[in-house]
Amino acid sequence: MDSPQQITVRNMHLGLLWIASLAVPASQRAEWSREWRTELWYVLRECWLETSANPRSIRAATEFCLGAYQDAICVRKLSWQVREPRAQFRSSAAACLLLLIGIFVAAWALAQTSTRVAIAMSKLQVYPRQLTHTDTAPCDCPSDLSFQPAAHLFFDGFSHYTVTQQTVWSADMPRTRWIVAQASSDFFQILHTSVRPTVGNTRGPDREPRVLLSHDTWARNFDGKPNKIGAKLHVGTVDAIVVGVVPFNSTDLPGSADAWLLGSDSEAETSKSDFIVAHLSPLGYLDDGRWGLSVGGILLGFLLFPFVSRVSIGEFGSGLPRPSLAKRARFWAFLFGKISVLVPIAYYMSVNLGCLLMPPFSTSSACIQFASSVALCVWGLRWAFRDQQRRCPICLRRMTYPVEVGEPSRTFLAWNGTELMCERGHTLLHVPEIHTSWFGKQRWTCLDGSWQFLFARSNG
């Protein structure tokens, strides 16, 4: 039976071990804590056996527990060494390409959303729009209409409707005056609206006029009874079937009407159209020539790049061994691979910026898209070349361990610059601090096999 003093001492030391365990990686913490708690049990037993817990023995137990902190840090460091292959992967060419592909996918996905946002914002400007020639013949070909703010847009469907006051009655409803919106039968399909009737649907028997009631009308005249779906209703001179009820407070339909009468096409054509509804194509934003802005900007970026950045990659020391032709081909293929992913990134990112920063379809939006495509292209090319300049031509890994060599004041007497090393011991890279006539470009030195013993661990 432990005395209160023993329990206090043990708990105090267990607390010390618990704090130390926080430094241990979570995956190893349970095992580590178990070992130290077990060992503490034996240490304390030795303490109690020797004497009845004098300060000296308690201090020995405390010193033992303090050693756990060094051990915990050691375990943490060793776990980092185990993760070293992950760090090596981060500096590899595959990781670089994967990162670029990830950015490309993100930019592409964002472009899908941003162009839809642009379409949605513009749709609000388009409908309902009163026709300028409603007194003339019904419009069979809506493309000849003039939409001033959105004349250049790409539509994938048109429909029309007219609002009139009609007398409506049925077998169990007296004659009532309703505001009826009479539309063509494909009205809801063209509108791509998300209206889901509370009861019923927007479809009905073919070639038979259909009525969609507003929620208020349904509640006021039919007491909200669902069995009215399918009932026959006389709307003016037309006999129609009730097919559904528009949800309460629905904002997806233009105008406000007590009922929507969806007639057959022939009837719609003979009716007098007051309003027209046009649906912008989801692809309209880019199909409308917007893609040309980005492509043109990217081409301009390629033309500008040699004037704003150094295109040179580097050279190999004269008289020293060079990488094989296959290695050098792989080195250049990696550069072109990066550029080929960067181009679509610049394209989609410029589309995103044009859509999201300025009102879509505006002149400022077009300017943003064009300017950003040029800037992104130049920046991307600059990054691709700079990244290539810091990669080993043999293993394509990032050069590491930069060391500054020489003194700037002795530049013209001795070499002055930065030296980097391939972590696998393939090459050394000499980057001059000041470009001189005898050392203008950065220079690689391929290391022969005699250096390999220094990098045995990395190669293993």
Partner 1 sequence: MARDPRLTHITALILQAIDLGYIYGFSIMEMTGLPSGTVYPAMRRMEQDQLIRSRWERQAIADREQRPPRKYYQLTGIGKTALETSRKRYPLIERLIPTSEERS
Q: Please give the residues from 324 up to 343 whose contact with partner 1 meets the rule CB under 8 A.
A: none
Nearer residue to partner 1 within complex by CB, 60 or 131: 60
Structural contact between residues 9 and 59, judged by C-beta atoms closer than 8 angstroms: no
Nearer to partner 1 among residue 80 and residue 169 (C-beta)? 80
Interaction pattern, residues 17-46, with partner 1; x per rule: CB under 8 A: -----------------xx-xxx-xxx---
Q: Give 21 or 159: the residue with its C-beta nearer to partner 1.
A: 21
Least distance from C-beta 460 to partner 1, angstroms?
6
Among residues 373, 351, 357, which one has the least CA distance to residue 288?
Answer: 351
| Contact code string over 248-287 relative to partner 1, x by CB under 8 A | ----------------------------------------
| Residue 400 phi, psi (nearest 5) | -130, -175
Runs of H (alpha helix) within 207-324: 215-222, 265-270, 284-285, 291-308
Name the residue nearer to partner 1 (CB basis): 38 or 54: 38
**Tokens read off for 331:** 């080195």
Minimum Å gap between C-beta 75 and partner 1 is 6
What minimum distance in Å lies between the beta carbon of 53 and partner 1? 18
Cβ nearer to partner 1, comparing 34 with 220: 34
DSSP secondary structure letter of residue 247: P
The interface region with partner 1, picked from 109-117, 327-335, 340-348, 452-460 by CB under 8 A, is 452-460
Give least dist CB 401 to partner 1, A.
Answer: 19
Determine the angle formed by the axes of helices 291-308 and 325-357, rounding to 10 degrees.
130
Backbone phi, then psi, for 266, in 5-degree steps? -65, -35
Q: CB within 8 A of 370, min separation 6: which ones?
A: 293, 294, 296, 297, 350
Q: Is 75 or 356 the residue whose CB approaches partner 1 more closely?
A: 75
| Nearest distance from C-beta of residue 454 to partner 1, angstroms | 13
* The pairing of beta strand 232-235 with beta strand 155-170: antiparallel
Angle at 374 between CA 372 and CA 380, to 5 degrees: 95
Please report which residue ranges of 138-271 form alpha helices under DSSP H.
187-191, 215-222, 265-270
User: Left (φ > 0), alpha (ψ -120 to 50) or beta: where does 207 sit?
Assistant: left
Rounded to a whole number of angstroms, the minimum distance from the CB of residue 5 to partner 1 is 21
Cα gap 432→416, rounded to integer Å = 6
Number of residues that bind partner 1 (CB under 8 A): 25
> Considering beta carbons, is residue 65 or 381 the nearer one to partner 1?
65
Q: Shortest approach of partner 1 to residue 455 CB, angstroms?
A: 13
**Terminal alpha carbon distance of the chain:** 55
Smaller CB separation from partner 1, 41 or 248: 41
CA distances from 175 to 169, 235, 251, 257 (A): 5, 10, 28, 17
Q: Which is nearer to partner 1, 79 or 165 (CB)?
A: 79
Build a one-symbol-per-residue string for 285-304: x at contacts with partner 1 by CB under 8 A, - elsewhere: --------------------
Report the run of H or E that residue 337 belongs to, with start and end. Answer: helix 325-357
Q: DSSP class of residue 286?
A: I
CB of 6 to partner 1, least distance (A): 16
In the chain, what's the furthest Cα-to-Cα distance? 114
Backbone φ and ψ of 139, nearest 5°: -85, 115
Residue type, 400: T
Binding pattern to partner 1, positions 189-208, x when CB under 8 A?
--------------------
Interface mask toward partner 1 for 57-96; x: CB under 8 A: ------xxxxxxxxx-xxx--x--x---------------
Q: What is the DSSP letter of 399?
A: P
Contact between 390 and partner 1 (CB under 8 A)? no
Nearer to partner 1, 59 or 177 (CB): 59
Interacting residues with partner 1 (CB under 8 A):
34-35, 37-39, 41-43, 63-71, 73-75, 78, 81, 456-457, 460
